[in-house]
Amino acid sequence: MQGLKASYDDPAIFQKHVDQLHELFRDVKRIGAQPVFVFMPFPHMWKLFPKSSRDEIYSRIKDTVAETGIPIIDLSDIEEKYTPEEFQLNPFDAHPNARMQEVFAGAIYQGLIHTKEFTAVLSGK
């Protein structure tokens, strides 16, 4: 986790990440699809660092994506609703468990139906 945080704090590494996002968005558009950026929670990371670090990193990522005009569905508030133990698959695997997958699916759907690029498609119009 220390290394991951350090990579977000290193301007050159962060720029490489930004460049990769831009390339991914271009590739999705190139095939005729509308990209959407889903900002997923990562609560285990923030047990080690202060909330101010999380907020600063999340803000930079969101600002970077917003500059592209790509719609963002932000699920990061889920981090504050569930403990890492409620979130994780088990004590040895921090990936989201089945309950969290359901929470994500519902939140993503709500985000999509309230995003103008997807409203017509999801409403069947």
Contacts of 110 (CB under 8 A, 6+ apart): none
Residue whose C-alpha is closest to residue 57's, from 125, 112, 11, 114: 11
Other Cβ atoms closer than 10 A to 18: 16
Whether pTM > 0.85 for this model: the answer is no
Other Cβ atoms closer than 10 A to 5: 16
Beta bridge partners of 37: 72
pLDDT (tens digit, 9 = 90+) per residue, 87-124?
A: 889 989 888 999 999 999 999 999 999 888 787 777 76
Whether the Cβ atoms of residue 71 and residue 36 lie closer than 8 Å to each other: yes
For residue 37, give the 3-state DSSP assignment: strand
List the chain domain ranges.
2-123
